[in-house]
Structure 1
Amino acid sequence: MLFARDVPDLPFPDEADTLQVLWCPLDHEPYFQPHTIVRWRGAEAVGSLLIDAPTPDPDSDDSYLPMACVLSPERVEEYPAGWGLPAELRQRIWAWEDGFPNPDGWGYFSHLSSAPGSKVGGWVSWIQDPEQVECSKSHEMAHLLTIASREFDIENGKRWAPIEERSPHAPLEIQEPTDLMIQDAGSLYLFVCLKCPDLPVNSLSQGS
């Protein structure tokens, strides 16, 4: 659940200030991912929060049941991934990276472009080829939310791992804080249509 006060850049429909994302912890076609339901609501309609989470259905897939953890949102600055850049600019970046001493292997595509992991808004960090997502009225949809199996890998963790938890080898318990596994170390992407008044949401997933 996300509140407008905590994510001021997130678009909300009129008279709504709360985003709830629910999912069924079983595989659903066509992407073999959890089926998601999104609700835009007013906070007063949500009521009091449950102290104890309901017991999951015994048929639930354990890989879709997150481990309890603390969410600490942080605003970051990121840039488009390589696929989102003009070919001429990609060539300039490669030439720039090749043109100066870089013993630690830092580069634009791993350390400066789209942030990996779970996030709200920003550029999509695709695992496979980029996909264009459209709503039922054929409007191109914008990235709303990513729920990731892993927050980073050993290489891009040099840039994106929290400073408080950073280590040379990005331990597994930091890479996978929620213990979720979507497809094969994949991500579930949610997209919102900003042209439709009710802000409909679609989802898809990719695996590694």
Structure 2
Amino acid sequence: MTRTTPARPVAVEALFPELAAYRGRTTRLHPRPGRPGCRDSHVGGPLLWPSDEPWPFCDEPHQSETEGYAPQEIRAARAAGVWPRSRPWREAAGPEADEPTPFVGLAQFFARDVPGLAAGPGGADLVQLFRCPRTHGPRLERRYLLKWRSAARTERGGRFLAVPPEPPLVRWEHELPEPCVLHPEEVDSYPWAEDDTLPPALIARIDAWDDAQIEEGGRHAPSYQGALSIPPGWRVGGFPSWASTGPMDITCECCGEPMRLLLTAGGDEMDADSHSWMPWEDRDPALQGMDSIRRGQSVAMPTRLRFGRDRDLHVFICRADPGHPPRWVLS
């Protein structure tokens, strides 16, 4: 099934004609629970990983834990519609609890499936995203990994890893992604309006319009940031949202060149400010607003993943050389 984003509640370029010069395109991925295969673009499904290639492990020191969740019990609990029970970390994880931890495969995207996906080093057209399921240091930092491949060359290999290594326990239930198929859709988007992302006079007019909307329609009236500029959820390309941090200049740590947004991973597909982006196919046409959205968690938080405190994870790559290390920004 396709997914179709409704027209914006207000024609943003009619309100602010100057925005036409800043219009960009982003590909909404619309993950929904399903059964993707290793040759599909997906979140949470099996990766196209050669069987003779070592799986990535995180060998950095990890924060000690007291409790955790066994991946197989998380899956069983989700299937039963209940919450998994936690286990004492040492008792369940065993003496290997401080050993290197296998990364969890979060997603993979093929350029043939996802319009606007940037090419990787050497023209790589398949990208795979991983996260260490444990935290690092006193600030509970996370470690991510990006793997680029040539899809055709990898597929010609023929033999792929059926069951990747996984940790005996993960710290939180939302470390384990729900297998989701994708429904890519390109939509227009516009920059976040803050600091120097747009001309100051234009940002001032947008802020004034937002204030007038709240005064006339209350706190659930459409706003520029929530309803007109950047869609929520998983997406490729486009503009980063800066709700938590404010705009940041992201430059390559190798060469100092500005970096481009490769993809955004978002835990929630909607909230009170952004529900107007929910596709028609996930709505009851007889109802209005948030009341029209059907199927609960499978559309509100389909992947079951969270990033930071309900933030977006932005993955940036170097414009000059995508082989340079990516940067990970929670915002």
Fold shared by both chains (TM-score > 0.5): yes
**Is the 8 Å Cα contact of residues 192 and 200 (structure 1) preserved in structure 2?**
yes
Equivalent position of 2:148 in the other structure: 40
Equivalent position of 2:225 in the other structure: 109
Q: 1: CA distance between counterparts of 2:321 and 2:161?
A: 35
**Is the 8 Å Cα contact of residues 32 and 183 (structure 1) preserved in structure 2?**
no
- Normalised to the residue count of structure 1, the TM-score between the two structures is 0.82
Unaligned runs of 5+ in 2: 1-107, 285-289
- Counterpart of 1:139 (choices 257, 274, 280) is 257
**Is the 8 Å Cα contact of residues 33 and 182 (structure 1) preserved in structure 2?**
no
Residue 78 and residue 53 in structure 1: after superposition, are their counterparts in 2 closer, same or farther (change >3 A)? farther
Over aligned residue pairs, what C-alpha RMSD do you find? 2.8
Residue 162 and residue 111 in structure 1: after superposition, are their counterparts in 2 closer, same or farther (change >3 A)? same
Are 1:155 and 2:273 counterparts? yes
Residue 53 and residue 131 in structure 1: after superposition, are their counterparts in 2 closer, same or farther (change >3 A)? farther
**Rg larger in 1 or in 2?**
2
Are 1:88 and 2:204 counterparts? no
Report the 3-state secondary structure (helix = DSSP H, G, I; strand = E; otherwise coil) of the residue aligned with 1:19: strand
Q: 1: CA distance between counterparts of 2:223 and 2:321?
A: 38
Report the 3-state secondary structure (helix = DSSP H, G, I; strand = E; otherwise coil) of the residue aligned with 1:191: strand
- Normalised to the residue count of structure 2, the TM-score between the two structures is 0.54
Q: 2: CA distance between counterparts of 1:114 and 1:20?
A: 24
Residue 199 and residue 9 in structure 1: after superposition, are their counterparts in 2 closer, same or farther (change >3 A)? farther
Are 1:57 and 2:182 counterparts? no
Report the 3-state secondary structure (helix = DSSP H, G, I; strand = E; otherwise coil) of the residue aligned with 1:44: helix
- Counterpart of 1:5 (choices 112, 116, 137) is 112
In the TM superposition, what whole-angstrom CA distance separates every residue of 1:37-65 from its partner, at most 9, and x where no partner exists?
Answer: 21221113333586955363113233221
Unaligned runs of 5+ in 1: none
**Is the 8 Å Cα contact of residues 187 and 205 (structure 1) preserved in structure 2?**
yes
In the TM superposition, what whole-angstrom CA distance separates every residue of 1:98-140 from its partner, at most 9, and x where no partner exists?
Answer: 39x9647223222111222211111101231222222222222
Q: 2: CA distance between counterparts of 1:173 and 1:194?
A: 35
Equivalent position of 1:196 in the other structure: 321
Residue 172 and residue 5 in structure 1: after superposition, are their counterparts in 2 closer, same or farther (change >3 A)? closer
Q: 1: CA distance between counterparts of 2:133 and 2:174?
A: 8
Question: Which one has a larger percent helix, Structure 1 or Structure 2?
Answer: 2
Aligned length: 204
Q: 1: CA distance between counterparts of 2:188 and 2:308?
A: 28
Residue 191 and residue 8 in structure 1: after superposition, are their counterparts in 2 closer, same or farther (change >3 A)? same
Report the 3-state secondary structure (helix = DSSP H, G, I; strand = E; otherwise coil) of the residue aligned with 1:76: strand
Q: 1: CA distance between counterparts of 2:326 and 2:145?
A: 9
Equivalent position of 2:180 in the other structure: 69
Report the 3-state secondary structure (helix = DSSP H, G, I; strand = E; otherwise coil) of the residue aligned with 2:174: helix
**Is the 8 Å Cα contact of residues 17 and 43 (structure 1) preserved in structure 2?**
yes
Report the 3-state secondary structure (helix = DSSP H, G, I; strand = E; otherwise coil) of the residue aligned with 2:134: strand
Report the 3-state secondary structure (helix = DSSP H, G, I; strand = E; otherwise coil) of the residue aligned with 1:26: coil
In the TM superposition, what whole-angstrom CA distance separates every residue of 1:64-106 from its partner, at most 9, and x where no partner exists?
Answer: 211122221111111111112222002223445539x964722
